[in-house]
């Protein structure tokens, strides 16, 4: 399969990488974008750059980004340096896109898989909406910076990488049932990222590096492929519906923590199908039905699912693919073992730990409606 030319052409990780970042910036008029937590890294590693510091508690909203866009224009800034994690990257990516300038990613913690993403997740009028934006032109990751991050952030990043078990599985199910083309090179990048991360002692500094490398590489599979198909399956759809705050309140939990917990939920569900006849249930894109979960966003969700990606799928096709699906289910890791490992290093494993309702009705509603967040075939969407 022909892979796309990545927009993030320069990726450097390792001690002393900041020097490469400085020579990449060269004489361009650049500005470091940070928050009150990451300001110290901007001051220490990019002392000559002016800084745009987002105040404590600021979210990635269009209103907040407008302040940065104003400064880019008034100061003639040509290049932004995102010194931070998710929110800083979303704000920078969105602002750079709207101001027509480039940006560099400078991660301060291995917390999520969106450093090299082209999508900005913004909160507009209280709802999380993803916008097309631009990926960084380069990423520089300095171990002395990201290895000092709190373990909670690294464990969240680990959850985001573990989710690739499901993303890859769902992609292969879509191949078996609907003839989607799976790129084995990209699958290998993802499985290598998981294996490498799990081979390293979580107490060692190298663990932070393996998690960050895994996040960057799995993020790059999206650029190579041209959509998030390789790196986002049912596990991300669960975290996305929770992040849209349509069936729950906003929670403190980090994206990767949600993905880690949803990975266990989906693993258990998929494993339970091993000895069952998998029944195909066509999805209903009826707006009034979708409104029961998505409220005001129902029209947008119905549009997202049109044309219906399941239109050509039948029970016969699913039955014909069932032996392959069973083989894939057998290849998934044992959820009990994975959960025990996650618990042993302090990662979140239960829905209640995310601050979400622990009742079975909430989980059922999540599983019923999450597949609509993207126009994409997953085994969960077929059920
Ligand atoms: Zn993710």
Ligand 1 centroid from CA 235, angstroms? 9
Task: Count other C-beta atoms under 10 Å from residue 47's C-beta.
Answer: 9
d(CA 311, CA 43): 54
Q: How confident is the model at residue 126 (pLDDT cuts 50, 70, 90)?
A: low
Ligand 1 centroid from CA 163, angstroms? 8
Ligand 1 centroid from CA 238, angstroms? 11
Ligand 1 centroid from CA 215, angstroms? 9
Q: State percent of the chain over pLDDT 70.
A: 99
On whether the CB atoms of residues 90 and 59 are closer than 8 A, the answer is no
pLDDT of residue 307: 87
Ligand 1 centroid from CA 218, angstroms? 9
Q: How confident is the model at residue 127 (pLDDT cuts 50, 70, 90)?
A: low
Ligand 1 centroid from CA 253, angstroms? 13
pLDDT of 125 strictly over 80: no
Ligand 1 centroid from CA 193, angstroms? 14
* Cα distances (Å, whole numbers) of residue 377 to 128, 176, 248: 22, 11, 24
Instruction: Give residue-wise pLDDT tens across range 181-207.
Output: 999 999 999 999 999 999 999 999 999
Ligand 1 centroid from CA 110, angstroms? 12
The answer to whether the predicted template modeling score (pTM) of the entire model surpasses 0.75 is yes
On whether the CB atoms of residues 126 and 93 are closer than 8 A, the answer is no
Question: What are the structural domains, with CATH classification, of the chain?
Answer: 10-146 (3.40.50.1970), 151-382 (1.20.1090.10)
206: helix, coil or strand?
A: helix
Compute the Cα dihedral for 184, 190, 196, 198 and give only its sign.
negative
The rounded radius of gyration (Å) of the Cα atoms in the chain is 21
Q: What are phi and psi of 178, to 5 degrees?
A: -125, 5
Instruction: Give residue-wise pLDDT tens across range 335-344.
Output: 999 999 999 9
pLDDT of 116 strictly over 90: yes
pLDDT of 258 strictly over 90: yes
Torsion angle defined by CA atoms of residues 199, 201, 204 and 206, in that order, rounded to the nearest 10 degrees:
10
pLDDT of 359 strictly over 70: yes
The two structure tokens encoding residue 338: 């994975």
Ligand 1 centroid from CA 341, angstroms? 20
Ligand 1 centroid from CA 7, angstroms? 19
Mean pLDDT of 324-346: 97
Of 240, 247, 373, nearest in space to 309 by CA: 373
Outline where 287-351 has alpha helix (H).
287-294, 298-304, 315-331, 335-344
Ligand 1 centroid from CA 243, angstroms? 11
Ligand 1 centroid from CA 184, angstroms? 20
Please tell me the least confidently modeled range out of 126-130, 143-147, 236-240, 333-337. Answer: 126-130
Task: Count other C-beta atoms under 10 Å from residue 50's C-beta.
Answer: 13
Instruction: Give residue-wise pLDDT tens across range 7-34.
Output: 999 999 999 999 999 999 999 999 999 9
pLDDT of residue 250: 87
Ligand 1 centroid from CA 255, angstroms? 7
Residues ≥6 apart with Cβ < 8 Å to 340: none
Length of the chain: 383
Instruction: Give residue-wise pLDDT tens across range 260-292.
Output: 999 999 999 999 999 999 999 887 788 999 999
Ligand 1 centroid from CA 259, angstroms? 7
The two structure tokens encoding residue 93: 């990516």
Task: Count other C-beta atoms under 10 Å from residue 210's C-beta.
Answer: 24
| Tokens 């995310």, located at residue | 354
- Beta pairing, strands 119-124 & 127-132: antiparallel
Mean pLDDT of 298-314: 88
Instruction: Give residue-wise pLDDT tens across range 27-53.
Output: 999 999 999 999 999 999 999 999 999
pLDDT of 133 strictly over 70: yes
The two structure tokens encoding residue 352: 């209640």
User: Count of H helices and E strands in the chain?
Assistant: 17, 8
């Amino acid at each position: 399969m022909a892979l796309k030319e990545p927009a993030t052409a320069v990726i450097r990780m390792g001690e002393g990488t900041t020097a490469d970042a400085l020579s990449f910036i060269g004489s361009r008029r650049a500005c470091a974008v940070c928050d009150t937590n990451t300001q110290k890294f901007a001051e220490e590693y990019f002392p000559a750059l002016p800084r745009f510091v987002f105040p404590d508690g600021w979210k990635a909203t269009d209103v907040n980004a407008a302040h940065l866009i104003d400064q880019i224009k008034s100061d003639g800034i040509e290049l932004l340096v995102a010194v931070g994690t998710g929110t800083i990257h979303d704000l920078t990516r969105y602002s750079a896109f709207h101001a027509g300038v480039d940006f560099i990613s400078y991660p301060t913690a291995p917390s999520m898989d969106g450093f090299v993403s082209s999508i900005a997740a913004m909160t507009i009028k209280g709802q999380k909406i993803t916008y097309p934006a631009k990926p960084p032109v380069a990423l520089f990751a300095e171990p002395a910076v990201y290895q000092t991050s709190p373990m909670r952030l690294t464990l969240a990043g680990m959850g985001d990488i573990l989710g690739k078990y499901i993303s890859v599985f769902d992609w292969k199910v879509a191949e078996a049932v609907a003839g989607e083309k799976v790129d084995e090179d990209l699958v290998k990048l993802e499985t290598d990222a998981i294996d490498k991360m799990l081979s390293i002692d979580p107490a060692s500094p190298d663990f932070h590096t393996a998690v960050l490398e895994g996040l960057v590489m799995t993020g790059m599979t999206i650029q190579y492929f041209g959509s998030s198909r390789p790196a986002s399956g049912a596990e991300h759809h669960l975290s996305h519906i929770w992040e849209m705050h349509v069936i729950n309140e906003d929670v403190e939990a980090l994206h990767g923590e949600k993905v880690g917990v949803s990975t266990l939920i989906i693993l258990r569900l998929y494993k339970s199908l091993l000895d069952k006849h998998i029944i195909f249930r066509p999805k209903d894109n009826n707006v009034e039905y979708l409104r029961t979960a998505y409220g005001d966003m129902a029209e947008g969700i119905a549009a997202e699912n049109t044309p219906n990606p399941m239109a050509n799928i039948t029970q016969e096709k699913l039955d014909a693919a069932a032996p392959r699906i069973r083989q894939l289910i057998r290849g998934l890791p044992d959820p009990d073992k994975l959960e025990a490992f996650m618990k042993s290093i302090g990662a979140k494993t239960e829905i209640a730990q995310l601050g979400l309702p622990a009742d079975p009705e909430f989980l059922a509603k999540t599983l019923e409606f999450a597949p609509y967040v993207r126009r994409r075939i997953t085994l969960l969407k077929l059920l």
